[in-house]
Structure formats: structure tokens, C-alpha cells
């Protein structure tokens, strides 16, 4: 059974940093691209970043330069380092597995809430 | 890149069919076949229902079907059931992923 378990969310002040983790199980982690998608309750999801099976990273302009995605194959874990956080980064952050080669997200974690507020 | 446009809500009686549209620009949709649809219940994570415009993942009922014409993709739910009441989001991949704002499906 595919499982994705996020952690690391919480309350952080504007300008602060946070690192999210997502531990994957139930599939061969190394051959799949992985992504982070966030969602403000009541709004549509927003893609945050992706990392291919080969380690290539992808970001939208809205977070480029402030966010870094990485993966540790030995730990079956994908990370999201977020810096210079803003109030508009407040959302539930989901870890998701990409369908090959990249186009959609076939499994999602339960999400971790990030709140940016003073 | 702007979000894809979906109707805020659609409704139907049990057994009826409903169709949710998802409209983008020529950059978003017309040149690519990476359109996916997600079902989301309150407080839960999204679930993939359709990918590559028309494909259903294993376990998704065949009542759910997808299509695309030009700049508009569509999700049709045939034989509507009470458990289909949820929010539905479209998503397009064209180098980056863009989601729609969501459609609430209500079963009357």
C-alpha cells in the first residue's frame, strides 16, 4: 500500500524558515518523481515544487528562490525547505507522487499545516 | 499563469449525469494531453480520478469519464451517487502544473 506521511508543519513568523518532510512507503521510491502541492482551505490546490527520479527540480515563479525540494533515496524521504516565509504561504502542504513520467499526482499524503503569522 | 476556470457548483439527482468543465488558454490545455481530475472530501487529501485526459486509475468507477476539446476539458459523472458529493479540481501540466478553482458537486 502506497503511503506518504508528511511532518514539519507549524506556526512560523514572517521571514522565518521551515523544513517539511515526507516519508514514502509501499513503492520503489527511487523511480518516481515527487512533488509538493499546497492548498488554502476553500481554494484550489497550488503546485509548489517537484523533483524527478533523476534529481532535477522544478518550481513555479511564485516560490522560486525561496523554496528548495530535495530527496534522500536512502531514507525514502522528500523534503521541502522553505525560507523567507510570507503570510500568503499559509496553507496545507501535501506531498504527492507523480504518475510517470510527470503529468499528474496519483497518491497524496494527509497534509501538514503551515501557518505564517506574527 | 492563471488558474483554470471551473464552475463553482453543479448539482444533479441520483442516477443523473453531471459534467464539469475546465477552461484554460491555448497554452494550458489545447496543446497537451496531461489533464487530470481530483476528487476531494472536506478535510481530506485530493484523490486522482482521471489522468491524461481520459484514463482512470485502478479502482475508480467507470461512472467517471474525461474528455477534452480545444481549450476545455470536462469530467462527466454518470449515474450520480450520494458518495460523489465532493469538490472536484482539474489540473493541467504544460511544463508547470496549473489547477482549477474547484467545483462543488451536490447530489440533490
Minimal CA separation from B88 to chain A, in Å: 9
Residues counted in chain B: 108
The DSSP secondary structure of A80-101, one letter per residue, reads EEE-S--GGG-EEEEEEEEPSS
**Residue A110 reports pLDDT greater than 90:** yes
pLDDT tens readout for residues A28-79: 999 999 999 999 999 999 999 999 999 999 999 999 999 999 999 999 999 9
According to the model, what pLDDT value does residue B1 have? 55
Sign of CA dihedral B62, B63, B64, B69: positive
Return the number of CB contacts < 8 Å for A and B: 57
Contact B89 A44 (CB under 8 A): yes
A54: left (phi over 0), alpha (psi -120 to 50) or beta: alpha
Which is nearest to A71 in space by CA: A89, A94, A54, A92? Answer: A54
pLDDT tens readout for residues A68-108: 999 999 999 999 999 999 999 999 999 999 998 778 999 99
> What pLDDT tens digit does each residue of chain B (108 aa) get?
568 999 999 999 999 999 999 998 756 666 567 899 999 999 999 999 999 999 999 999 999 999 998 889 999 999 999 999 999 999 998 888 999 999 999 999
Task: List Cβ neighbours of B15 (8 Å cut-off, separation of 6 or more).
Answer: B79, B80
Sheet holding A3-7, edge to edge: A3-7, A18-25, A77-82, A67-72
Task: Name the residue facing A103 among B47, B51, B89 (closest C-beta).
Answer: B51
According to the model, what pLDDT value does residue B15 have? 96
As a whole number of angstroms, the distance between CA A32 and CA A65 comes to 24
Interface residues from chain B to A (CB-CB < 8 Å): 1, 3, 34, 36, 38, 45-48, 51-52, 57, 89, 91, 93, 96-102
For residue B102, what is the nearest residue in chain A, using CA coordinates? A44
Task: Name the residue facing A103 among B1, B3, B36 (closest C-beta).
Answer: B36
According to the model, what pLDDT value does residue B26 have? 59
According to the model, what pLDDT value does residue A101 have? 74
Q: How many Å is the Cα radius of gyration of chain A?
A: 13
Amino acid at each position: 500500500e502506497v503511503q506518504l506521511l508528511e511532518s514539519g508543519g507549524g506556526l512560523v513568523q514572517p521571514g522565518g524558515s521551515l523544513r517539511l518532510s515526507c516519508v514514502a512507503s509501499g513503492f520503489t521510491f527511487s523511480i518516481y518523481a515527487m512533488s509538493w502541492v499546497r492548498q488554502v482551505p476553500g481554494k484550489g490546490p497550488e503546485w509548489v515544487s517537484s523533483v524527478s527520479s533523476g534529481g532535477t527540480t522544478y518550481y513555479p515563479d511564485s516560490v522560486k528562490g525561496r523554496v528548495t525540494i530535495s530527496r534522500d533515496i536512502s531514507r525514502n524521504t522528500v523534503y521541502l525547505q522553505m525560507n523567507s516565509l510570507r503570510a500568503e504561504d499559509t496553507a496545507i502542504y501535501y506531498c504527492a507522487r507523480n504518475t510517470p513520467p510527470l503529468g499528474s499526482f496519483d497518491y497524496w499524503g494527509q497534509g501538514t499545516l503551515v501557518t505564517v503569522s506574527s | 499563469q492563471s488558474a483554470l476556470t471551473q464552475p463553482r457548483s453543479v448539482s444533479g439527482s441520483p442516477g443523473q449525469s453531471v459534467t464539469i468543465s475546465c477552461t484554460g488558454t491555448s497554452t494550458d490545455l489545447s496543446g497537451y494531453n496531461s489533464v487530470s481530475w481530483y476528487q476531494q472530501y472536506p478535510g481530506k487529501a485530493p484523490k486522482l480520478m482521471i489522468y491524461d485526459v481520459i484514463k482512470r486509475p485502478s479502482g475508480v468507477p467507470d461512472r467517471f469519464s474525461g474528455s477534452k476539446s480545444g481549450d476545455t476539458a470536462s469530467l462527466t459523472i454518470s449515474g450520480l451517487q450520494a458518495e460523489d458529493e465532493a469538490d472536484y479540481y482539474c489540473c493541467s501540466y504544460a511544463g508547470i502544473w496549473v489547477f482549477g478553482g474547484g467545483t462543488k458537486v451536490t447530489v440533490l
